[in-house]
Amino acid sequence: MNDRAIESSSSRSAHCDAPRIAIAGILHETNTFAPFMTAIDAFRQEWIVGNAAFEARYGGTRTSMGGAIDAAAQHGASLAAGLYAAATPSGMVTAEAAEELMNAVVASVDSEADGLLLIMHGAMVAEGIPDMEGDLLGRLRKRLGRQLPIAMTIDLHGNVSEEMAELADLIVGYDTYPHIDMYERAIEAFGLLIRYIEGDIRPVRALAHTGMIVVPQAMMTEEGAMKELMDRAFAMEEEPGVLNVTVAGGFPYSDVPDAGMTFIVTADGDEALAVRCAEELACLAASWKDRFQLQAIPPREAVRIALLAEEGPVILAEGSDNVGGGAPADATHTLACLTEASKPALAVICDAEAVRVAATLGIGGVFRGKVGGRMDELHGRPVEVEGKVRTLFDGEYRHIGPYMTGQQAFMGLTAVLACGNLTLVLTEKRVAPWDLGHIDSIGLRAEDFHIILVKSAIAWQAAFGPIARDVIHIDSPGCCSANLSHFRYEQVRRPVYPLDTGEPHIRIASYGYSRSNP
How far is Cα 182 from Cα 311, in angstroms, rounded to an integer? Answer: 33
* pLDDT tens-digit series, residues 113-145: 999 999 999 999 999 999 999 999 999 999 999
Per-position b or e across 393-418, b if 16+ CB within 10 A of its CB: bebebebebbbbbebebbbbbbbbbb
Nearest 5 degrees, angle CA 329-CA 449-CA 473? 50
Q: Quick one: how far is CA 144 from the chain centroid?
A: 28
pLDDT of 205: 97
Q: H or E stretch including 79?
A: strand 78-86
Average pLDDT estimate for 430-446: 91
* pLDDT tens-digit series, residues 203-243: 999 999 999 999 999 999 999 999 999 999 999 999 999 99
Cα separations in angstroms, 173 against 121, 181, 330, 405: 9, 10, 30, 19
* pLDDT tens-digit series, residues 34-84: 999 999 999 999 999 999 999 999 999 999 999 999 999 999 999 999 999
Specify burial of residue 481 (Cβ count, 10 A radius: 0-12, 13-18, 19+): buried
Residue 476's φ and ψ, nearest 5 degrees, are -140, 160
pLDDT of 377: 85
- The pLDDT-based confidence of 3 (bands split at 50, 70, 90) is very low
Query: What is 3-292+506-516's CATH superfamily?
Result: Response regulator (3.40.50.2300)
Residue 167's φ and ψ, nearest 5 degrees, are -90, -20
* pLDDT tens-digit series, residues 390-412: 999 999 999 998 888 888 889 99
pLDDT of 10: 35
- The pLDDT-based confidence of 459 (bands split at 50, 70, 90) is confident
Cis peptide before 178 (omega within 30 of 0): yes
Query: What is the pTM (predicted TM-score) of this model?
Result: 0.87
Cis peptide before 35 (omega within 30 of 0): no
Residue 181 and residue 174 in contact, taking contact as beta carbons nearer than 8 Å: yes
Helices (H) and strands (E) in the chain, counts: 14, 20
Q: Domain spans of the chain?
A: 3-292+506-516, 299-481
How far is Cα 229 from Cα 60, in angstroms, rounded to an integer? Answer: 32
